[in-house]
Amino acid sequence: MTGEQIVFLVVAFFTLAAGFMVVTTRNLVHAALWLVAALFGVAVTYVTLHANFLAVVQVVVYIGAIAILFIFAVMLTRRDMRDQGPQMNKNWWLGALLAVLTFGGLYFLLQGWEGMTKTATSYPVSFDAISELGSALVSPVGYVLPFEVASVLLVAALVGAVYVAFNPRNGDTRK
């Protein structure tokens, strides 16, 4: 077993364990922090894939912004720190069954595919992925439309979120 494989297995195991904690921990702030751990594991996975830019963006966007947003939301929607009641709904076993079936099904499908055991060609030494990514994003023959649409999507999300959550007319009806 080579060093790369050992690194991959350690990271994958860590990520899956953290992911499992995300979906089972009772305390929601802990769940959000476990999510950070899992996402960090995914960032390391990107590093093993030589996707430097994705790895850093993963940390900047997920850990720097999305995790913070989750923690803020958890604190905005709870009136005390204790978690009362069960965290799982009564059909949780059905969910578990479906998840196992999904994994089994995906595994079965992947196993029948000939590209499964493919190994990567060695990474080109002087290949500047970010520069290539830049030209792919903005060149007219590349992905310029998704690039601009992403901007529109995010602005739409901002406008929608601001409107939904904080419309003054939509205030607290219990008052």
Partner 1 sequence: MSFWNDPLKVAADWLLGVFTGWGMPELAANILIGFLGILILISLLMVLDIGLVWVERKVVARFQDRIGPNRLGPFGLIQPFADIIKLMIKEDITPAGADKVIYNIAPMLSMMSVLILWAVVPLAPAILGVDLNIGVLYIIAAGSIGTLSIIMAGWASNNKFALIGAFRQVAVMISFEVPMLATMLIPTILAGSMGTAAIVEKQDIWYVLLAPLGALIFLIAAIAELGRAPFDLAEGESELVSGYNIEYSGMKFGMFYAGELLHAFTFGGFWAILFFGGYRFFGLEKVSPFLAIAVILFKAFIGYWLIMWVRYTLLRIRIDHMLAFNWKFLTPLAFTLIMVTALMNALLAGAPAWLYIAGMFLSNIVVAWGALEIARFYSRRERERIEGKQVVAAGH
Partner 2 sequence: MVPLSWYLVFAAALFSIGMFGVLSRRNAVAILLGIELMLNAVNINLAAFWRYGDVRLMTGQVFAIIVFAVAAAEVAVGLALVISVYRNRHTVVADEIDMLKW
Partner 3 sequence: MNPWIFVGLFFVVGLLIPVGAIGIAWLLGPKKPNPIKQSVYECGIETVGESWVQFKAQYYIFALVFLVFDVETVFLFPWAVKLGALGLFAVIEGIIFVLILVAGLVYTWRKGMLEWA
- Which residues form the interface with partner 1 (CB under 8 A)? 3, 29-30, 33, 36, 52-53, 56-57, 59-60, 63-65, 67-68, 71-72, 75, 128-130
From the list 144, 136, 133, 135, the residue with the least C-alpha distance to 51 is 133
Closest CB to partner 1 among residues 68, 97: 68
Closest CB to partner 1 among residues 60, 100: 60
| φ/ψ bin of 160: left (φ > 0), alpha (ψ from -120 to 50), beta (otherwise) | alpha
Give the orientation angle of helix 67-76 with respect to helix 28-48, to 10 degrees. 170
Sign of the C-alpha dihedral, residues 7, 40, 15, 109? Answer: negative
Contact 28, 78 (CB under 8 A): yes
How far apart CA 36 and CA 44 sit, in angstroms, is 12
Token pair of 170 as six digits: 């939509």
Min dist CB 65 to partner 3, Å, is 4
User: Binding segment for partner 3 among 25-33, 62-70, 83-91, 111-119 (CB under 8 A)?
Assistant: 62-70
84 binds, among partner 1, partner 3, partner 2, none (CB under 5 to 8 A by kind): none
The residue within the footprint of partner 3, chosen from 10, 16, 96, 165 (CB under 8 A), is 165
- Which residues of this protein are in contact with partner 3, per CB under 8 A? 47, 52-53, 57, 60-61, 64-66, 68-69, 72-73, 75-76, 78-81, 130-131, 133-135, 137-140, 144, 147-148, 150-152, 154-155, 157-159, 161-163, 165-166
